[in-house]
């Protein structure tokens, strides 16, 4: 049996921030404007709003107005946020067994950034080869 501990909330956040810093220049600066929050599980109200029964089914969530829909008339209540959920990410990582945790965190983050930027699958594939 291994004595290694699963990555902490702080480690998952650091992997996500490293992913943002590795983005191409055109995306890096606007992506820095999105807050990243890491929790063990999604809140019950998030699950209820999305009609998701198991908290293990949601690895990430984008909350905000996509850039393609924002207007100067929008009065934001706060920054756009990407939520990453550690336990569902760790479960997927363990189930897969063939991907590094950093790659999985990057994949989830890129998918949520796609909601923020209004990216197509083709756009996502230029950054995240997971999609190919």
Which sequence spans correspond to the domains of the chain? 9-64+79-131
Q: Give yes or no for a contact between 114 and 60, defined as CB atoms under 8 angstroms apart.
A: no
d(CA 9, CA 12): 5
Q: CATH for 9-64+79-131?
A: 3.30.2010.20
Give 88-112 pLDDT, tens digit per residue. 999 999 998 889 999 999 999 999 9
Nearest to 87 by CA among 27, 40, 30: 40
d(CA 60, CA 84): 4
pTM above 0.75, yes or no: yes
Give 23-78 pLDDT, tens digit per residue. 988 889 989 999 999 999 999 999 999 999 999 999 999 998 877 777 666 666 77
**84 φ, ψ (degrees, to nearest 5):** -115, 135
């Amino acid at each position: 049996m291994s004595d290694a501990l699963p990555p902490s909330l702080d480690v998952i956040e650091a992997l996500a921030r490293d992913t943002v810093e590795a983005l191409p220049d055109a995306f890096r600066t606007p992506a820095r404007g999105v807050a990243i929050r890491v929790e063990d599980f999604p809140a019950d109200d998030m699950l209820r709003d999305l009609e998701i029964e198991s908290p293990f089914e949601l690895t990430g969530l984008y909350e905000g107005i996509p850039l393609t829909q924002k207007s100067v008339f929008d009065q934001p209540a706060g920054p756009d946020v990407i939520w990453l959920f550690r336990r569902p990410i760790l479960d997927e990582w363990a189930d897969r067994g063939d991907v590094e945790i950093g790659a999985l965190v990057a994949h989830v983050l890129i998918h949520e950034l796609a909601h923020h930027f209004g990216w197509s699958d083709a756009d996502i594939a230029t950054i995240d080869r997971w999609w190919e």
